[in-house]
Structure 1
Amino acid sequence: MDREGLVRDAATVSSAEDLASLLRRLRRRQARMRKTRVATYRDLATRTGWSRGIIGAYFTGKVLPSVDKLDELARQLDATPTELGALATARDRVDELRPAPRQLPGDVPAFTGRAAALAVLDAQPGRGPAVISSVGGAAGMGKTALAVHWAHRAATRFPDGQLYADLRGSGRRPVPPGEVLRGFLTALGAPASQLSAGLDVQAGLYRSLLAERRVMVLLDDACDAGQVRPLLPGTPGGLALVTSRSRLNSLVALENARLIVLDRLDEAQSQHLLAARLGARRLAADPAGAAAIVSACAGLPNYLAYAAANAAAHPELGLRTVAGQLAASRPTAVERRHHAVPVQAF
């Protein structure tokens, strides 16, 4: 391979696979020029201190190397300064062409409260997942609302994309992790030919695609750690945010997950949430009605949000009437473990 040929071909690179092809050509050329065998992944791992797995991913195009890693790898393969520049330009072009999924649901309007939980999430270092659960596994605590709101707030920290999946863990048919992986792999630009592999192969490809990328993965309503574990990024830089009625203790023990447990809102916080949704003037006009809604909702943010939505949709109704409708249709404690929101009044 002549040096001008590599520079010329680098100008046409449009994918990680194209770039990997140039790296393989460099490796073969080095062997010819030095009159030695072709450097193995083990050889390059010894020289660089990187794992054989990540080097293999670079040479097969499963992972796009970072700028620094590509430069070091090309230098190890005796690339010239001109070739280094051409490869760096090609790498930047591929990076710009890679899909950056933006799958987050819409942010929660007029989100309020949960300042302590938001502060914990803001400080999350990205070396393990964060799990948002609730006291006693209760529904209606606003786990999803908190996760989605923070994900939007922190989206700029993850410029390579945000992935989202509703795992339906509290329902009768939780989504299998393989099904979620196929959707994520498609969003990350994996070839269709690689989507039919088994779970372990899919999970390995998924982690490879996320390596050296700053991606947030929001996994909503997980049933257990087994459903979540194949969906976790394998390297620092990204972040998995998980909501579940279970505390997923094995993720805390084995995956260094940070556990955030939500409790019911107190009366002042509940009043503040209602005011954010309905306006302070309407609450001031009927303080007894507002207090009745707060009492009926028992500090559950989802119930308060839906009560406020009902009141906003029917401005002709007094707040005491809305509270009465809520109290009449409010599920029992047993039902609340299986339904996130009231099922009749709203």
Structure 2
Amino acid sequence: MSWWDTDDEEDTPYDEYDETSVRVRPNPKGNRPRTKTRPEHEDAVVARVLGVDRGRYTVLIDEDTADEHEAIASRASELRKQAVVTGDRVDLVGDVSGDEGTLSRIVRIRERSTLLRRSADDTDAVERIIVANADQMLIVVSAANPEPRTRLVDRYLVAAYDARIAPLLCVTKTDLADPAPFLENFAGLDLPVFLSTTGGTVEGIPLDELYRALAGHDTVAVGHSGVGKSTLVNALVPGADRATGHVNEVTGRGRHTSSSTVSLRLRSPFGDGWIIDTPGVRSFGLGHVDRANILRSFTDLAAIAENCPRGCTHLPDAPDCAIIDAVEAGELGERGPARLDSLQRLLATFS
């Protein structure tokens, strides 16, 4: 007889198991069941993100009311894979009083109207979001020291058109060099231009012209290091105290001074607005850009392009390009050649 056939209970080699004999592994994360359901946060308040610093967000609550105040916030864990950037409108919960030592929490990012982005280089499709919800871009260049870089301005324009942001151009230090030859590169664009004679002071800045253009808008200011962008921002927003630098006389390069992107409230006789100062850059990758958005920004040329062959690049060597034919026939008037040249240069920037 086999041992498992015995009727003698004392010979049974093991006791019969029941549920009390099972050792339950403890749950290291607590006893709450896992769920993908998230709270609705119906009590959340809306805020504007003014700046980001090492995982902490300066936010403005109750904007344009008597209770307007700033607070510090962190990002909720469910947003860990989403970038929260300057200019975002977000929903906050927790202590939103803004009192010293308090910390609220960002639980939602509201729908964005625009996104200004750049990539590390033209081959990198991974985008870096610079600012959200801007509707204007103020491109700041200097007439000299450092020399204006047409190709970099072209890249700013491409990024602005891709994001559906209206570009403006401000040329500083025009007392050092005539900006006319540089501006000829953009004669075909509907690009408002402002000229400043400043060389490190606010004198000579066309403040009234700029205030009129910036009032009622969220404007992101971009530019090469050393062109006077921070000086310009300090003039527009007294008390902003954005750091200013100098240009190396040997290399002709500016020193990075603004190290973070910050939204600043702009007060003017013509209305309020926001100007968003960004760190100076020497390159601006366009690996994320959709070239079709560039053509859409040239509304007059885009209408003609509907008669182009499928896949037309609109570049000088493009066969049967309707835009090129129309310009050569004089259908666009005197500005036609300049408009076409501007479009082709921008398209060639990342082709």
Is TM > 0.5 for Structure 1 vs Structure 2?
Answer: no
If asked which structure has higher relative contact order (CA below 8 Å, sep 6+), I would say 1
Normalized per residue, the structure richer in helix is 1
**TM (normalized to structure 2)?**
0.27
